[in-house]
């Protein structure tokens, strides 16, 4: 029996260690977690084997033989030494594994010197990453860029519901909860491109809520950051109050979000530089400004397809195909307003007043009326009215 147990352990441990349970390691924290996991495997496989061998051996050895149906087992009672051992050994094991796990947790969560802050803003259904700058502004990007070996503090906020920020290769995750700021610390230590996922079922587009993390060299990161600040559009609109109080000077810009899965270069290709409100040639309510709002932080392009904005979202109606027809349909005229402009305005500010066939309420955010300024809404109306085919 002992021999079987030793052989099973000798096979079990390497087998369990060889199985690739985790994706490639991308951070110091992930390294600590993997080591913890290996120690747990080495400690638990022998215990599992011991218990199973004794159980299987007993099932076989003490099985009921013909003629024993009426018999009872021998009345064995009490063995103090055995009881002390089987209480003390697991207690020592559990206390030491807990202590080790606790030290790993403490070291992973420890504040590192010179950590760089990245603001992670979540919304249905996109991540946005903000890099605070010395001038109080921040550079916004739909892709996460990080310099290798640089400790990072992620500050998470949510515009709407609970999301969860998870980079499997960093082995760290935390929820983004509306109204509070949550913190996560990571030190990436391997160059590479890793998926970022939302791991909280946050609505119909949850499965689309993904982004890309690029861990690059420090110099590549600096030049990326410089290219961002040069091309970034000035901030458009005010963020919701809870986001505002959390970070002084924080303001999401028009170049921020792009549809999930779109180009991860960081700058939204659809945001035209001429669409910035500071440009003297365009007004803040014009179609050009509207396009910037559409492709920007409001997240319209994450859910809608619209050729004029290079948007390819599929959660909501394809605006190229349906907008004009839906606005012309008899049912919507009285509810959404008679003209195309009125209809679009209602669709944005009171989205469930008229539901296009095949769509249900509760998916398109219903708070754009409060989140966007009246100029921004007017700009969107002008833009969509001119873009609708
Ligand atoms: C989370 C996904 C989502 C986002 C973000 C979103 N929408 Fe929608 N949108 C929908 C859905 C779903 C519908 C259909 C149901 C409804 O009308 O509420 C819709 C409907 C519409 C309609 C009516 C379309 C028609 O054919 O009748 C318009 C116009 C519209 N959205 C514009 C916008 C604009 C502008 C934005 C950004 C400010 C935006 N949407 C953001 C999901 C979204
Ligand atoms: Cu989410």
Domain membership flag for residue 268: no
Is the per-residue pLDDT at 3 higher than 60? yes
From 389, 377, 306, select the one nearest 345 (Cα to Cα).
377
The phi, psi pair for 302, rounded to 5°, reads: -70, -20
Can you tell me the distance from the alpha carbon of 246 to that of 341, in angstroms, rounded to the nearest whole number? 36
DSSP designation for 253: B
Q: Indicate whether 238 and 282 sit together in one domain.
A: no
pLDDT band at 276 (very low <50, low <70, confident <90, very high): very low
- Find the 158 Cα to ligand 2 centroid distance in Å: 9
3-state secondary structure of 88: helix
What's CA 98's distance to the chain center, in Å?
Answer: 29
Domain membership flag for residue 252: no
Can you tell me the distance from the alpha carbon of 189 to that of 28, in angstroms, rounded to the nearest whole number? 6
pLDDT band at 106 (very low <50, low <70, confident <90, very high): very high
More confident residue, 239 or 386: 386
Domain membership flag for residue 360: yes
CATH at residue 293: 1.10.760.10
Atom of ligand 1 at shortest range from CA of 362: 18
For range 2-21, the mean pLDDT: 84
Q: Indicate whether 101 and 126 sit together in one domain.
A: no
- Range of the structural domain that residue 7 is part of: 2-60+82-109
Report pLDDT for 300.
84
Return the residue whose CA atom lies nearest to atom 25 of ligand 1: 323
Can you tell me the distance from the alpha carbon of 384 to that of 108, in angstroms, rounded to the nearest whole number? 48
Last residue of a domain, one of 109, 128, 146: 109
pLDDT band at 235 (very low <50, low <70, confident <90, very high): very low
Last residue of a domain, one of 200, 226, 245: 245
Radius of gyration of the chain (CA): 29
Q: Indicate whether 349 and 328 sit together in one domain.
A: yes
For range 354-367, the mean pLDDT: 80
Longest dimension (CA), the chain: 102
Count the domains in the chain: 3
Q: Indicate whether 299 and 189 sit together in one domain.
A: no
Report pLDDT for 229.
66
Residue 368 Cβ contacting ligand 1 at under 6 Å: yes
For range 94-102, the mean pLDDT: 95
Report pLDDT for 303.
82
DSSP letter string over 309-329? GTEE--SS--HHHHHHHHHHS
Report pLDDT for 332.
65
Return the residue whose CA atom lies nearest to atom 19 of ligand 1: 316
Q: Indicate whether 102 and 123 sit together in one domain.
A: no
Report pLDDT for 220.
93
Domain membership flag for residue 307: yes
The pairs formed by 255-258 with CB atoms below 8 angstroms and a separation of 24 or more are 255/140, 255/231, 255/292, 255/296, 256/128, 256/140, 256/141, 256/142, 256/296, 256/297, 257/126, 257/128, 257/142, 257/295, 257/296, 257/297, 257/298, 257/299, 257/301, 257/302, 258/142, 258/295, 258/301, 258/302
Q: Indicate whether 126 and 97 sit together in one domain.
A: no
- Find the 351 Cα to ligand 1 centroid distance in Å: 7
Kindly state the helix (H) or strand (E) to which residue 182 belongs, with its residue range.
strand 182-186
From 249, 254, 223, 247, select the one nearest 140 (Cα to Cα).
254
Nearest ligand to the C-alpha of residue 321?
A: 1
Report pLDDT for 182.
94
Q: For the segment 303-336, what is each residue's pLDDT rounded down to a tens digit?
A: 888 988 888 888 889 999 888 888 888 666 778 8
- Residues 36 and 98: beta-carbon distance below 8 Å: no
Q: For the segment 41-82, what is each residue's pLDDT rounded down to a tens digit?
A: 888 888 898 899 889 999 998 888 888 888 888 888 888 999
Domain membership flag for residue 18: yes
Report pLDDT for 378.
92
Q: Indicate whether 101 and 191 sit together in one domain.
A: no
3-state secondary structure of 186: strand
Q: Which of 305, 333, 351, 360 has the most ligand 1 atoms within 8 A of CB, as the residue to mutate?
A: 351
Q: Please enumerate in sequence order all residues whose Cβ is within 8 A of that of 38, keeping only pairs 6 or more positions apart, or say none.
A: 17
Last residue of a domain, one of 225, 245, 265: 245
Domain membership flag for residue 255: no
Domain membership flag for residue 189: yes
Report pLDDT for 25.
86
Q: Indicate whether 103 and 131 sit together in one domain.
A: no
Report pLDDT for 158.
92
Is the per-residue pLDDT at 26 higher than 70? yes
Residue 373 Cβ contacting ligand 1 at under 6 Å: no
pLDDT band at 297 (very low <50, low <70, confident <90, very high): confident
Report pLDDT for 97.
94
Domain membership flag for residue 267: no
Report pLDDT for 24.
84
Q: Indicate whether 237 and 122 sit together in one domain.
A: yes
- Find the 125 Cα to ligand 2 centroid distance in Å: 6
Q: Indicate whether 222 and 339 sit together in one domain.
A: no
For range 336-361, the mean pLDDT: 85
- The mean-pLDDT minimum among 125-129, 161-165, 185-189, 275-279 falls in 275-279
Kindly state the helix (H) or strand (E) to which residue 11 belongs, with its residue range.
helix 2-18
Report pLDDT for 250.
41
Ligand 2 being an ion, which residues bring their Cβ within 5 A of it? 163, 198, 202, 209
Residue 157 Cβ contacting ligand 1 at under 6 Å: no
Q: Indicate whether 99 and 144 sit together in one domain.
A: no
Q: Indicate whether 97 and 155 sit together in one domain.
A: no
DSSP designation for 286: S
For range 247-268, the mean pLDDT: 40
CATH at residue 122: 2.60.40.420
pTM: 0.54
Is the per-residue pLDDT at 124 higher than 70? yes
Q: Decide: residue 189, CB within 10 A, 0-12 exposed, 13-18 middle, 19+ buried.
A: middle
Mean pLDDT of the chain: 82
From 154, 229, 144, 228, select the one nearest 192 (Cα to Cα).
144
3-state secondary structure of 216: strand
- Find the 378 Cα to ligand 1 centroid distance in Å: 16
């Amino acid at each position: 029996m002992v021999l079987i147990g030793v052989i099973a352990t000798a096979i079990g441990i390497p087998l369990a260690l060889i199985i690739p349970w985790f994706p490639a390691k991308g951070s110091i924290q992930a390294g600590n977690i993997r080591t913890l996991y290996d120690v747990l495997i080495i400690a638990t496989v022998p215990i599992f084997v011991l218990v199973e061998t004794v159980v299987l051996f007993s099932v076989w050895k003490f099985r009921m033989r013909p003629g024993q149906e009426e018999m009872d087992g021998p009345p064995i009672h009490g063995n103090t030494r055995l009881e002390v051992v089987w209480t003390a050994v697991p207690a020592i094991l559990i206390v030491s594994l807990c202590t080790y796990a606790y030290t790993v947790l403490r070291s992973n969560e420890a504040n590192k010197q010179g950590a760089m802050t990245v603001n992670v803003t979540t919304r249905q259904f996109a991540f946005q990453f903000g890099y605070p700058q010395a001038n109080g502004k921040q550079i916004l990007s739909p892709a996460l860029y990080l310099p290798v070996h640089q400790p990072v503090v992620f500050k998470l906020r949510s515009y709407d519901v609970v999301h969860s920020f998870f980079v499997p290769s960093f082995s760290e995750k935390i929820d983004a909860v509306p109204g509070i700021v949550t913190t996560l610390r990571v030190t990436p230590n391997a160059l590479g491109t890793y998926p970022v996922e939302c791991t909280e079922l946050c609505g119909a587009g949850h499965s689309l809520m993904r982004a890309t993390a690029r861990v690059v060299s420090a110099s590549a990161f600096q030049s990326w950051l410089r290219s961002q600040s040069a091309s970034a559009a000035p901030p458009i609109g005010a963020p919701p109050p809870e986001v505002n109080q959390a970070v002084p000077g924080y303001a999401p810009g028009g170049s921020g979000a792009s549809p999930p899965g779109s180009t991860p270069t960081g700058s939204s290709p659809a945001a035209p530089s001429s669409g910035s409100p500071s440009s003297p040639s365009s007004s803040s309510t014009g179609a050009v400004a509207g396009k910037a709002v559409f492709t920007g932080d409001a997240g319209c392009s994450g859910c809608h397809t619209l050729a004029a904005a290079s948007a390819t979202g599929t959660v909501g109606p394809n605006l190229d195909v349906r907008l004009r027809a839906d606005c012309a349909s008899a049912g919507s005229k009285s509810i959404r307003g008679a003209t195309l402009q009125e209809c679009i305005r209602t669709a944005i500010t009171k989205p469930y007043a008229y539901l296009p066939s095949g769509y249900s309420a509760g998916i398109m955010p219903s708070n754009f009326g409060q989140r966007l300024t009246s100029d921004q809404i007017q700009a969107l109306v002008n833009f969509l009215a001119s873009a609708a085919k």
